[in-house]
Structure formats: C-alpha cells, structure tokens
Structure 1
Amino acid sequence: MPADRVTLYIKGDRDIEVKKQEVTLGDILTMECSDRAMLARIKPLKILKIQKQGKQRFVVSVLKIISCIHEKYPNVEVQNLGETDIIVTFEDQKTPGKLWHVLKAAFVAVVTFCGAAFSIMAFNNDIDVTKLFGQMYELVTGRETDGFTILEITYSAGLTIGILIFFNHFGRRRFTEDPTPMEVQMRLYENDIQTTLVEDAARKGEEIDVGMGSTGGSGGRRP
C-alpha cells in the first residue's frame, strides 16, 4: 500500500431522516479519517438533491457514496462499517401544537384501553370465569358465593400486576432496563419495513446506485 494512501471509515444507519433538500455525506454518515482536512472537505459533498416537497423516501447504495468520494479523492481507501443501503427520508418539518400531541395521546390511550378491556371480557365470558370461581369457592369453603369473594379480588389484582410486569413499565418508570415487548415488536416491524423498502427500490431500479447519471430526488432508473 502506498505511504500516502489514506483510509476513510464510514458508517451509516439503515434509516436516516433529513430536514433539507440538498443532502450531503455528512448528513447521512458518520466518518473518521486521520486526514482531518480531507475529512472536512468530504462531509459537504452532495449525494442527493430532493426536487419536490412533502414526505419522500430514497434508497442510497453505499457504492454510490464510495463513487461520490472517489470522484473527488480517487486514491482514498473507503472502509464501510455500516449498512450497505441507506434509506433517506425527507419530510417538511412542521411543528404541531402541544394540544395536538395531547389529543393524539389521549385517543391512542382510549382505543388501547377499550381494546384491552374488550379482550379481557371476551376471555372471561369464553371460559365463564364467574362460574368457575363460584365452583372453586364452594368446593373450598362449602358455601355458595355471593359474586364478590377473595378470588375475584386476587384475580383482578393479579391481572393488573401481571400486565405491568409484562410491559415492564408504569407511566415513565421502568422496572428493568430491558426493552418492553411493545418496543421489541415495533423494532421488528421497523426492520421489516426497511427491508421491504430496500428490496422494492432495487427491484424497480429506483435505488440510487453507481451507473445512475444523476442524484436528483425525482427518482430514476439504472440505464
């Protein structure tokens, strides 16, 4: 390897959100290089120019990024430590009011509460919990239940405690540092969405890759 050959390390996440229409390498990558002057000149290099307003997504291949760097610095060695395809999401930054956030949170809370309550009631009716508890109470005590016994109390308390432990938090307080089941499922869902976006862009020839004449955000296909 020549003595003057410099190595540039780049790392990009799978999904990047940008706020401006002219996207540079520094906007979508974390970079490290021993040549600080060269690194400062590489970060402002433009990789994508978004033509339209509104929410848009683009898939940029790391090969296109390397090609963009080599156009300016052909002798630099680029080592990719991140994703091979980067999803760039552009959306007009509109700051909604606090009232709108409160209304959305309240709506989600009401829908979730009603759905959970309906599921629990459907389960209780399906197995006839009231009759089951009555039989158990009569079997143990020899007396008929009046419909409100220690079994109903402990069942209700246990159901609440079990839900809190399962979802691993109450309000903003976490019981452990582990992610909640909801967070795990959301992460899996996000990964599936990102994989689908990358595969669809590659299948349709819309991925921004080497061989494309322009990095404009209006879309394009490989020649």
Structure 2
Amino acid sequence: MSEIVYIRMKQKINASKNQSLCLSDVAYISAPSTWKETLESMKLYTIQGSDRNIVIMDVFRVIYYLRDVFPDLEVQPIGPNQSIVMIQRSKKNPSILLVIVIWLLLFIGAAMAIINFHFDVSMEAVQQRIHFLLTGKEVKHPLWLEIPYSIGLGLGMILFFNHLFKKRINEEPSPLEIEMHKYQQDLDQYVVFHENELSKGLNNHDDTSS
C-alpha cells in the first residue's frame, strides 16, 4: 500500500539568483516522519541567470518530479495550484535627488487636487456664509473656521490612511492598503495565467521527455 503525502503550494515566495529551490521552499508538506525530511530537502529547481523576475512552480510539475523519484508515494495536492517565485535582484540605493523630485511632484499634485476641489465646491464662499449666518458680519477670511478646518483636513487624511509616517495608528488596514492588496491579487492571477516563457519551455520539455 502506497503512503500518502499531502502538499500545499505556497502562494508566493522570494528567492535569490542561483538559489536552489527545495520542496519545502515552495510547498507545505504533510507526510510520514520516515519521508518528510527526505521530501523537504528534495531539490526542484535552481534559479538561472536567464530567469526574469518571476518563475512559476506548478503543482503538477512538482507531482511529476515526486512520482518520478518516489513511485511508491501517493501525492495529494491541497490549496493553490501554483507558487509564484519572486527573484530578488541586487538593489541600488535610491538617489536622494530623485527622491526629493518625486516627493515634490507628489506634494504639489496633492496640493493642487485639494485646492481644485475646494474651488469647485466654493469652500471659501461657504465658510464666509457660515460666518455671516452665525455672527451677522461679513469677513473675507473667517480664520476661526478656516484654521480648524485645515487642521481637521490633515488629521482626517492621517486617520483615513491609518499611518503617521511609518507608524500605523491601529491594526485595521487602510483603504489604500486594501486596494493595493486587491491589485496584488489581480497581478498574481495574471502572472499565473500568463506564465513566463521559461516556465512554458520547461513544461514543454517535461511533456516531450515523458
């Protein structure tokens, strides 16, 4: 009677150039103790210099390797069908000048968006009207309304994004983080659906060799 091994592919992992990927790197393994250590150390793939930024490890390819080496094992896949391997390249230190330029562009763009919004809704006229209704006097700049409003606008943005610089205010994700998470999920699905040319070439090689 063949022994059963359960594997669950990891959603995404990071790897470096020339790194050898073992089964334990790309999948969680549930197997008898006599097999687990051997399976975990089994090498599946080595990151090549010709690889781009992403390599897809498909569960069917993993099962093919396992059955080829251990024909007496019964492999049962659970969960995701692919593991996305993100190849980490050596990163250069960002240019201070480039950071300053990008920061200025974002700051000016955000300021213009806020100013244009307030101009469209006639915020200045609204505050002047509120001041007139409450005091009976016409003032061009009701500072007692404008200053608290400006402070509240900044505090509201901090609470909305749930961050003060790098410090998180509470454990709830911000709307921006949720949208980034959705974008990353869509990006991962796209990458899995459109595997890179290397993964396709390896699959074709497996098919022809079998």
TM-score (norm 2): 0.82
Q: Is the 8 A contact 1:61 1:207 kept in 2?
A: no
Structure 2 CA distance, aligned partners of 1:151 and 1:19? 56
2:158 maps to 164
RMSD: 3.1
Output the CA distance in 2 between the equivalents of 1:45 and 1:26: 8
Match of 2:66 in 1: 69
**Alignment match, 1:217:** none
Change (3 A) 1:80 1:110: farther
> 2:31 — aligned with what?
33
Q: Superposed, which structure 2 residues align to 1:76-91 within 5 Å?
A: 76-91=73-88
The 1:20–1:52 alpha-carbon spacing in structure 2 relative to 1, beyond 3 Å, is closer
Residue 152 of structure 1 aligns with which residue? 146
**In the alignment, residue 114 of structure 1 is paired with which amino acid?**
I
What amino acid sits opposite 1:196 in the alignment? Y
**Where do 5+ consecutive residues of structure 2 fail to align?**
none
Q: How far apart are the structure 1 equivalents of 2:50 and 2:98?
A: 25
Q: Provide structure 1 residue ranges, at least 5 long, that are not aligned to the other structure.
A: 215-219
**Letter of the 1:120 counterpart:** I
Cα 1:77/1:101, change in 2 over 3 Å: farther
Counterparts in 2 of 1:83 and 1:108: CA distance versus 1, 3 Å: farther
Mark the CA change 1:142 to 1:221 in structure 2 (over 3 Å): closer, same or farther: farther
What whole-Å deviation, never above 9, does each CA across 1:41-99 have from its counterpart, x for those lacking one?
2233332344434633222221111111111222223233331122223243x1434xx
- How many Å apart are 1:155 and its aligned residue? 1.2
Note if contact 1:207-1:221 (Cα within 8 Å) is conserved in structure 2: no
CA displacement at 1:30 relative to structure 2:
2.5
- Against the structure 1 CA distance between its residues 160 and 60, is the aligned structure 2 distance closer, same or farther, given a 3 Å change threshold? same
Equivalent residue in structure 2 for 1:96, among 92, 95, 100: 92
- 2:174 alignment partner, one of 173, 180, 192: 180
Does the residue aligned with 2:84 lie in a helix, a strand or coil?
Answer: strand
How many positions carry a matched residue from both structures?
209
SS at match of 1:213: helix
Q: CA deviation at 1:10?
A: 2.0
1:103 & 1:27 partners in 2: Cα distance? 39
Is the 1:168–1:180 Cα contact (8 Å) retained in structure 2? yes
- Greater helix fraction, Structure 1 or Structure 2: 2
* 2:205 is the counterpart of 1:213: yes
CA–CA separation in structure 1 for the residues paired with 2:41 and 2:205: 20
Distance change in 2, residues 1:186/1:120 (3 Å): same
- The answer to whether the Cα contact below 8 Å between 1:133 and 1:152 also exists between their aligned partners in 2 is yes
Task: Provide the rounded CA distance (Å) in 2 between the counterparts of 1:49 and 1:177.
Answer: 38
Local SS of the residue matching 1:201:
coil
Report % sequence identity.
25
| CA distance in 1 between partners of 2:192 and 2:76 (Å) | 21
Which residue is equivalent to 1:17?
A: 14
Q: Which has the higher contact order (CA 8 A, sep 6+)?
A: 1
- Do 1:14 and 1:194's aligned partners in 2 also have CA atoms closer than 8 Å? no
Kindly state the Cα deviation for residue 136 of structure 1 after the two structures are TM-superposed: 1.7
**Residue 60 (1) aligns with residue 52 (2):** no
TM-score normalised according to structure 1 size: 0.78
Which residue of 1 is the match for residue 125 of structure 2?
Answer: 131
